[in-house]
Amino acid sequence: MHKIRTLLIDDEPNALSMLKGYLSQYTKNVEVIDTARSSEEGMEKILRLEPELVFLDISMPGVNGLDMLKNFKSRNFEIIFVTAFQDYSLDAFDVGAVHYLLKPISLVKLKEAVQRCSEIIRDRSQKASLPSPPSTLRITEAKSHSVVKIADIQYLEADSSYTSIVMKDGRTFTTSRNIKHFEEQLHPCGFFRIHKQYLVNLASVKSVTRGKGGYVHLENGDALEISYRKKGEFLEALDQNQTSL
Protein backbone atom coordinates (compact mmCIF):
# COMPACT_ATOMS: atom_id res chain seq x y z
CA MET A 1 0.00 0.00 0.00
CA HIS A 2 1.25 3.44 -0.92
CA LYS A 3 1.86 5.60 2.15
CA ILE A 4 1.06 9.29 1.69
CA ARG A 5 4.10 11.33 2.73
CA THR A 6 2.57 13.84 5.13
CA LEU A 7 3.79 16.99 6.92
CA LEU A 8 1.96 18.54 9.91
CA ILE A 9 2.23 22.30 10.52
CA ASP A 10 0.77 23.83 13.70
CA ASP A 11 2.17 26.18 16.33
CA GLU A 12 0.50 24.21 19.17
CA PRO A 13 2.54 21.16 20.33
CA ASN A 14 -0.53 19.43 21.79
CA ALA A 15 -2.42 19.83 18.51
CA LEU A 16 0.49 18.34 16.57
CA SER A 17 0.78 15.42 18.98
CA MET A 18 -2.95 14.69 18.89
CA LEU A 19 -3.20 14.85 15.08
CA LYS A 20 -0.14 12.66 14.68
CA GLY A 21 -1.66 10.11 17.05
CA TYR A 22 -5.00 10.13 15.24
CA LEU A 23 -3.33 9.59 11.88
CA SER A 24 -1.19 6.76 13.24
CA GLN A 25 -4.07 5.01 14.96
CA TYR A 26 -6.98 5.57 12.58
CA THR A 27 -5.50 5.75 9.07
CA LYS A 28 -3.51 3.05 7.30
CA ASN A 29 -2.09 4.96 4.34
CA VAL A 30 -0.55 8.06 5.95
CA GLU A 31 3.13 8.39 6.86
CA VAL A 32 3.92 11.48 8.95
CA ILE A 33 7.42 12.38 7.78
CA ASP A 34 7.85 15.47 9.99
CA THR A 35 6.17 18.32 11.86
CA ALA A 36 6.69 22.09 11.94
CA ARG A 37 5.77 24.77 14.52
CA SER A 38 5.58 27.82 12.22
CA SER A 39 4.86 28.79 8.63
CA GLU A 40 8.53 29.61 8.06
CA GLU A 41 9.67 26.20 9.30
CA GLY A 42 6.84 24.53 7.41
CA MET A 43 7.77 26.17 4.12
CA GLU A 44 11.40 25.10 4.53
CA LYS A 45 10.37 21.49 5.20
CA ILE A 46 7.92 21.43 2.28
CA LEU A 47 10.71 22.47 -0.08
CA ARG A 48 13.18 20.01 1.41
CA LEU A 49 11.01 16.97 2.10
CA GLU A 50 8.49 17.29 -0.78
CA PRO A 51 5.44 15.89 1.03
CA GLU A 52 2.36 14.76 -0.87
CA LEU A 53 -0.03 16.04 1.82
CA VAL A 54 0.20 18.91 4.31
CA PHE A 55 -2.05 19.40 7.34
CA LEU A 56 -1.86 23.13 7.94
CA ASP A 57 -3.09 25.38 10.75
CA ILE A 58 -4.26 28.79 9.57
CA SER A 59 -3.91 31.05 12.60
CA MET A 60 -0.23 31.05 13.63
CA PRO A 61 2.11 33.77 14.95
CA GLY A 62 3.82 35.70 12.18
CA VAL A 63 2.82 34.44 8.74
CA ASN A 64 -0.48 32.55 8.78
CA GLY A 65 -1.11 29.38 6.81
CA LEU A 66 -3.02 31.07 4.00
CA ASP A 67 -0.29 33.64 3.40
CA MET A 68 2.39 30.94 3.50
CA LEU A 69 0.76 29.19 0.55
CA LYS A 70 1.07 32.36 -1.54
CA ASN A 71 4.82 31.69 -1.68
CA PHE A 72 4.15 28.62 -3.85
CA LYS A 73 3.39 29.59 -7.45
CA SER A 74 2.59 25.95 -8.13
CA ARG A 75 2.02 23.08 -5.70
CA ASN A 76 2.58 19.36 -5.99
CA PHE A 77 1.03 18.60 -2.59
CA GLU A 78 -2.52 18.59 -1.24
CA ILE A 79 -3.70 20.75 1.66
CA ILE A 80 -6.01 19.94 4.57
CA PHE A 81 -6.54 22.92 6.86
CA VAL A 82 -6.94 22.25 10.58
CA THR A 83 -8.12 25.28 12.56
CA ALA A 84 -10.25 26.43 15.48
CA PHE A 85 -11.77 29.22 13.39
CA GLN A 86 -14.67 28.64 11.00
CA ASP A 87 -14.36 32.11 9.42
CA TYR A 88 -11.54 31.02 7.09
CA SER A 89 -13.40 28.26 5.26
CA LEU A 90 -14.07 30.19 2.04
CA ASP A 91 -10.46 31.45 1.90
CA ALA A 92 -9.21 27.92 2.44
CA PHE A 93 -11.13 26.47 -0.48
CA ASP A 94 -10.12 29.45 -2.65
CA VAL A 95 -6.48 28.36 -2.34
CA GLY A 96 -7.34 24.79 -3.31
CA ALA A 97 -7.68 23.03 0.05
CA VAL A 98 -9.09 19.52 -0.19
CA HIS A 99 -10.74 19.73 3.22
CA TYR A 100 -11.25 22.08 6.17
CA LEU A 101 -11.23 20.46 9.62
CA LEU A 102 -12.36 22.30 12.73
CA LYS A 103 -10.74 21.69 16.10
CA PRO A 104 -11.49 19.54 18.03
CA ILE A 105 -11.05 17.18 15.10
CA SER A 106 -13.84 14.76 14.22
CA LEU A 107 -12.42 11.32 13.43
CA VAL A 108 -15.12 10.80 10.82
CA LYS A 109 -14.21 14.06 9.06
CA LEU A 110 -10.49 13.25 9.35
CA LYS A 111 -10.95 9.88 7.65
CA GLU A 112 -13.07 11.48 4.92
CA ALA A 113 -10.39 14.11 4.29
CA VAL A 114 -7.59 11.54 4.08
CA GLN A 115 -9.66 9.34 1.76
CA ARG A 116 -10.33 12.28 -0.56
CA CYS A 117 -6.64 13.20 -0.66
CA SER A 118 -5.70 9.58 -1.30
CA GLU A 119 -7.99 9.49 -4.35
CA ILE A 120 -6.59 12.77 -5.72
CA ILE A 121 -2.97 11.67 -5.26
CA ARG A 122 -3.68 8.26 -6.83
CA ASP A 123 -5.39 9.83 -9.85
CA ARG A 124 -2.53 12.28 -10.34
CA SER A 125 0.00 9.47 -10.16
CA GLN A 126 -1.91 7.41 -12.72
CA LYS A 127 -2.14 10.35 -15.12
CA ALA A 128 1.58 11.04 -14.76
CA SER A 129 2.35 7.44 -15.74
CA LEU A 130 0.33 7.60 -18.95
CA PRO A 131 2.30 8.12 -22.17
CA SER A 132 2.07 11.62 -23.61
CA PRO A 133 0.11 11.95 -26.86
CA PRO A 134 2.22 12.68 -29.97
CA SER A 135 2.79 16.31 -30.96
CA THR A 136 3.42 15.73 -34.68
CA LEU A 137 1.80 13.78 -37.49
CA ARG A 138 3.55 12.22 -40.49
CA ILE A 139 1.55 12.62 -43.71
CA THR A 140 2.33 10.55 -46.82
CA GLU A 141 1.07 11.99 -50.11
CA ALA A 142 1.55 10.62 -53.63
CA LYS A 143 4.95 12.23 -54.17
CA SER A 144 6.00 13.58 -50.79
CA HIS A 145 6.15 13.09 -47.04
CA SER A 146 5.41 15.87 -44.56
CA VAL A 147 5.55 16.20 -40.78
CA VAL A 148 3.14 18.73 -39.27
CA LYS A 149 2.31 19.86 -35.75
CA ILE A 150 -0.94 18.25 -34.65
CA ALA A 151 -1.99 21.48 -32.90
CA ASP A 152 -1.85 23.23 -36.30
CA ILE A 153 -4.44 20.89 -37.88
CA GLN A 154 -7.91 22.41 -38.21
CA TYR A 155 -9.85 19.32 -39.31
CA LEU A 156 -9.74 16.23 -41.51
CA GLU A 157 -12.24 15.44 -44.25
CA ALA A 158 -12.96 11.99 -45.64
CA ASP A 159 -13.31 11.48 -49.39
CA SER A 160 -13.94 7.81 -50.01
CA SER A 161 -10.67 6.05 -49.10
CA TYR A 162 -8.72 9.34 -49.15
CA THR A 163 -8.40 11.98 -46.43
CA SER A 164 -7.79 15.71 -46.76
CA ILE A 165 -5.99 17.35 -43.83
CA VAL A 166 -6.79 21.05 -43.54
CA MET A 167 -4.25 23.16 -41.67
CA LYS A 168 -4.83 26.40 -39.77
CA ASP A 169 -2.54 28.26 -42.19
CA GLY A 170 -4.68 27.24 -45.19
CA ARG A 171 -2.58 24.37 -46.50
CA THR A 172 -4.30 21.10 -47.38
CA PHE A 173 -2.67 17.69 -47.60
CA THR A 174 -4.31 14.73 -49.33
CA THR A 175 -3.36 11.19 -48.40
CA SER A 176 -4.57 7.73 -49.38
CA ARG A 177 -5.03 6.78 -45.70
CA ASN A 178 -8.69 6.63 -44.68
CA ILE A 179 -10.04 8.88 -41.94
CA LYS A 180 -10.44 5.99 -39.50
CA HIS A 181 -6.66 5.60 -39.47
CA PHE A 182 -6.25 9.23 -38.33
CA GLU A 183 -9.15 9.06 -35.88
CA GLU A 184 -7.34 6.37 -33.90
CA GLN A 185 -4.14 8.43 -33.88
CA LEU A 186 -5.65 11.82 -33.09
CA HIS A 187 -8.40 11.03 -30.60
CA PRO A 188 -5.96 11.22 -27.62
CA CYS A 189 -4.81 14.62 -28.98
CA GLY A 190 -8.22 16.30 -28.67
CA PHE A 191 -9.83 15.42 -32.00
CA PHE A 192 -13.44 14.27 -32.36
CA ARG A 193 -15.31 12.56 -35.22
CA ILE A 194 -18.39 14.79 -35.55
CA HIS A 195 -19.60 13.13 -38.74
CA LYS A 196 -18.59 10.19 -40.93
CA GLN A 197 -16.93 12.82 -43.12
CA TYR A 198 -15.23 15.07 -40.53
CA LEU A 199 -12.69 14.75 -37.73
CA VAL A 200 -12.16 18.12 -36.00
CA ASN A 201 -9.61 19.61 -33.66
CA LEU A 202 -11.68 20.57 -30.61
CA ALA A 203 -9.28 23.43 -29.89
CA SER A 204 -10.23 25.00 -33.25
CA VAL A 205 -13.96 25.12 -32.54
CA LYS A 206 -15.26 28.69 -32.28
CA SER A 207 -18.98 28.00 -31.93
CA VAL A 208 -21.69 25.40 -32.44
CA THR A 209 -25.01 26.03 -34.19
CA ARG A 210 -27.81 24.44 -32.23
CA GLY A 211 -30.40 22.29 -33.92
CA LYS A 212 -31.15 18.65 -34.59
CA GLY A 213 -27.59 18.12 -35.71
CA GLY A 214 -26.18 21.57 -36.25
CA TYR A 215 -22.85 22.86 -37.47
CA VAL A 216 -19.41 23.38 -36.00
CA HIS A 217 -17.86 26.75 -36.85
CA LEU A 218 -14.06 26.66 -36.92
CA GLU A 219 -11.35 29.29 -36.58
CA ASN A 220 -10.80 29.47 -40.34
CA GLY A 221 -14.49 30.22 -40.98
CA ASP A 222 -15.47 26.75 -42.23
CA ALA A 223 -18.78 25.32 -41.02
CA LEU A 224 -18.97 21.52 -40.78
CA GLU A 225 -22.10 19.46 -40.29
CA ILE A 226 -22.52 17.51 -37.05
CA SER A 227 -24.16 14.10 -37.16
CA TYR A 228 -27.30 14.07 -35.02
CA ARG A 229 -26.16 10.77 -33.54
CA LYS A 230 -22.82 12.34 -32.49
CA LYS A 231 -24.17 15.65 -31.18
CA GLY A 232 -24.46 14.87 -27.47
CA GLU A 233 -21.14 13.05 -27.24
CA PHE A 234 -19.42 15.85 -29.18
CA LEU A 235 -20.73 18.61 -26.88
CA GLU A 236 -19.58 16.62 -23.84
CA ALA A 237 -16.10 16.17 -25.36
CA LEU A 238 -15.97 19.89 -26.21
CA ASP A 239 -16.81 20.84 -22.61
CA GLN A 240 -14.15 18.48 -21.25
CA ASN A 241 -11.54 19.83 -23.64
CA GLN A 242 -12.25 23.45 -22.64
CA THR A 243 -12.11 22.54 -18.93
CA SER A 244 -8.67 20.98 -19.35
CA LEU A 245 -7.15 24.04 -21.03
Q: What is the pLDDT along the chain (245 residues), one digit of tens a residue?
A: 789 999 999 999 999 999 999 999 999 999 999 999 999 999 999 999 999 999 999 999 989 999 999 888 888 899 999 988 888 777 777 888 888 999 999 999 999 999 999 999 998 888 777 677 889 999 999 888 999 999 999 999 999 889 999 999 999 999 999 999 999 999 999 999 999 999 999 999 999 987 777 899 999 999 999 998 998 899 999 988 865 54
Note the pLDDT of residue 74: 84
d(CA 102, CA 85): 7
Superfamily classification of domain 136-244: LytTr DNA-binding domain (2.40.50.1020)
Domain ranges of the chain: 4-129, 136-244
Note the pLDDT of residue 46: 96
d(CA 92, CA 88): 6
Note the pLDDT of residue 96: 82
d(CA 40, CA 9): 10
Looking at the chain, which runs of residues are DSSP E strands? 4-9, 30-36, 53-56, 78-83, 99-102, 136-140, 145-149, 153-159, 162-167, 172-175, 191-195, 198-201, 205-209, 215-218, 223-225
Note the pLDDT of residue 92: 78
Note the pLDDT of residue 91: 79
Note the pLDDT of residue 137: 95
- In angstroms, how far is CA 119 from the centroid of its own chain? 13
Fold (topology level) of 4-129: Rossmann fold (3.40.50)
Q: Which of 103, 17, 94 is nearest to 57 (CA)?
A: 103
Tell whether omega for the bond before 133 is within 30 degrees of 0, i.e. cis.
no
State the pairing for strand pair 191-195/223-225: unpaired
Note the pLDDT of residue 211: 73
Residues present in the chain in total: 245
